[in-house]
């Protein structure tokens, strides 16, 4: 059968990518800024039986259908595998079932519960998968591994026994569009994608580190030659080890590298001035990697991403209404939810008449798992006095020493 032009991109002899980029959305999941957009990936296996691996988001549904119809031509779709039921991969499910009424929907019990909850669909034909089940398509056979809570309860991975391809749902994905580069080895991933891949992991999957470790245990000894996620570029060959190693580090809550993330909020510039002074002092002490965020202007997800990256966290905030400034409280809440742990932290607090921020920062940071305080809490009353410089220098000394 001839494949029509514009019918996706062949990634293996019988397997095609039919995804697309969304540059119109400003937020992912209604929460996370995506200034560089996001990609949505679906895949089709053209074997004795045809198989669609997940559908797509509503933003690319037109392109999805052009690709799918171009591939299938007059053939029927035999199987729709739903590895992940989240609606950004399910917007075309209803139309797929209407267009191909004899299709068999493949999922697990939780998949079908969610399919009914989201779309009020009870498939005419369904195949309910159990852990380790296999589905033969002809030359290709898919084996299923449950990846519970990576990052939803119904998630499963499908592994193609023939071509050693892992269809990994949301795992190993990233924010940011593909912009013509389908494979991770076609770009400078460290430069162009790593920050967004880390931010994606930390804020989408981050709290489920033990579940990520569980799926790694299931896949131990399995030869994987290609990883096809639902977001971001495809991984192949020796480059697979790169993203696997990142996921191991992140899921164990180990710092990726030595460095400091300084997040501050400031009402009139005084707390910000202390944070800037500290950054300069750290740089003079040879600290190479310092990222600073004004959290009145920066979404917490960027801070959480760097909290997963670096060994050290410095939070600086004023008191507000006898409490912590709400923008910093939002950052801490996200850190708590995503179970940031095993980090070194330092505190800068401010209050004009009843400074509460130092106390609250200490309470919340120290309550996180395996956190180690570095240096004494640095407190200003409205603004920093010249005679406090030595005290701030001491804090810089302590932070720099903790990085050696």
Q: Are 289 and 345 found together in one domain? A: yes
Q: Are 267 and 246 found together in one domain? A: no
The predicted pLDDT at position 7 comes to 76
Q: Are 209 and 288 found together in one domain? A: no
Q: Are 245 and 153 found together in one domain? A: yes
Check pLDDT > 90 for residue 4: no
Judge whether 115 lies within some domain: yes
Nearest to 117 by CA among 109, 129, 125, 106: 109
Q: If DSSP codes are grouped into helix, strand and coil, which group holds residue 57?
A: coil
Judge whether 312 lies within some domain: yes
Residue finishing a domain among 196, 219, 251: 251
The predicted pLDDT at position 237 comes to 94
For the residues 197-220, what does the mean pLDDT come to?
98
Q: Are 390 and 300 found together in one domain? A: yes
Q: Are 31 and 149 found together in one domain? A: yes
Tokens 């019990």 found at: 109
Kindly indicate the confidence band of residue 1, based on its pLDDT and cuts at 50, 70 and 90: very low
Q: Are 247 and 112 found together in one domain? A: yes
What pTM, to 2 d.p., does this model score? Answer: 0.95
Judge whether 264 lies within some domain: yes
CATH number at residue 150: 3.60.15.10
Judge whether 4 lies within some domain: no
Residue finishing a domain among 215, 235, 251: 251
Q: Are 104 and 130 found together in one domain? A: yes
- The per-residue pLDDT for range 228-279, each reduced to its tens digit, is 999 999 999 999 999 999 999 999 999 999 999 999 999 999 999 999 999 9
Q: What's the rounded Cα separation, in Å, for the pair 6 and 180?
A: 14
CB within 8 A of 231, min separation 6: which ones? 38, 39, 40, 41, 170, 173, 174, 175, 200
Domain count, the chain: 2
The predicted pLDDT at position 6 comes to 64
- The per-residue pLDDT for range 141-163, each reduced to its tens digit, is 999 999 999 999 999 999 999 99
- The per-residue pLDDT for range 157-192, each reduced to its tens digit, is 999 999 999 999 999 999 999 989 999 999 999 999
Cis peptide before 88 (omega within 30 of 0): no
How many other CB atoms sit within 10 Å of the CB of residue 198? 22
Judge whether 305 lies within some domain: yes
Judge whether 2 lies within some domain: no
Q: Are 147 and 204 found together in one domain? A: yes
Kindly report which listed range (5-19, 137-151, 290-304, 353-367) carries the lowest average pLDDT score.
5-19
Judge whether 1 lies within some domain: no
Nearest to 260 by CA among 203, 302, 308, 314: 314
- The per-residue pLDDT for range 66-98, each reduced to its tens digit, is 999 999 999 999 999 999 999 999 999 999 999
For the residues 311-340, what does the mean pLDDT come to?
98
Judge whether 209 lies within some domain: yes
Q: What's the rounded Cα separation, in Å, for the pair 386 and 377?
A: 17
CATH number at residue 314: 3.40.50.360
Q: Are 262 and 244 found together in one domain? A: no
Q: Are 58 and 192 found together in one domain? A: yes
| Containing structural domain, residue 15 | 9-251
Q: Are 264 and 243 found together in one domain? A: no
Q: What is the mean pLDDT of the chain?
A: 97
Residue finishing a domain among 217, 251, 285: 251
């Amino acid at each position: 059968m001839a494949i029509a032009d514009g019918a996706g991109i062949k990634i293996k002899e019988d397997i095609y990518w039919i995804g697309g980029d969304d540059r119109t959305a400003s937020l992912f999941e209604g929460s996370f800024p995506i200034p560089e957009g996001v990609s949505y990936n679906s895949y089709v296996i053209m074997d004795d039986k045809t198989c669609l691996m997940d559908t797509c988001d509503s933003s690319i549904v037109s392109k999805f259908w052009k690709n799918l119809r171009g591939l299938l031509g007059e053939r029927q779709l035999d199987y729709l595998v739903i590895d992940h039921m989240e609606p950004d991969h399910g917007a075309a499910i209803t139309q797929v079932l209407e267009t191909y009424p004899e299709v068999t929907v493949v999922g697990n019990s939780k998949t079908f519960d969610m399919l009914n909850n989201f779309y009020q669909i009870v498939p005419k034909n369904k195949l309910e998968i159990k852990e380790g089940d296999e589905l033969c398509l002809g030359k290709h056979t898919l084996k299923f591994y449950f990846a519970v809570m990576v990052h939803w309860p119904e998630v499963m991975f499908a592994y193609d026994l023939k071509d050693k391809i892992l269809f990994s749902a949301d795992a190993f994905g990233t924010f940011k569009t593909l912009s013509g580069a389908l494979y991770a080895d076609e770009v400078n991933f460290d430069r162009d994608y790593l920050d967004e891949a880390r931010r994606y992991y930390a804020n989408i999957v981050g709290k489920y580190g033990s579940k990520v470790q569980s799926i790694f245990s299931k896949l131990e000894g399995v030869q994987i030659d290609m990883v096809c996620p639902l977001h971001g570029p495809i991984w192949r060959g020796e480059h697979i080890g790169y993203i696997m190693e990142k996921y191991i580090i992140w899921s164990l809550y180990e710092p990726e590298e030595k460095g400091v993330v300084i997040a501050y909020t400031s009402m009139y510039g005084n707390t910000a001035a202390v944070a800037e002074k500290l950054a300069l002092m750290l740089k003079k002490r040879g600290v190479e990697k310092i990222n600073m965020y004004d959290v009145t202007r920066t979404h917490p997800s960027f801070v959480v991403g760097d909290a997963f990256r670096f060994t050290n966290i410095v939070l600086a905030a004023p008191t507000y209404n006898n409490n912590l400034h709400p923008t910093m409280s939002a950052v801490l809440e996200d850190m708590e939810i995503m179970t940031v742990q095993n980090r070194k932290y330092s505190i800068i607090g401010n209050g004009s008449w009843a400074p509460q921020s130092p106390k609250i920062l200490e309470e919340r940071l120290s309550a996180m798992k395996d956190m180690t305080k570095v240096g004494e809490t640095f407190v200003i009353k409205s603004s920093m006095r010249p005679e406090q410089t030595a005290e701030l220098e001491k804090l810089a000394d302590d932070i720099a020493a903790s990085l050696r």
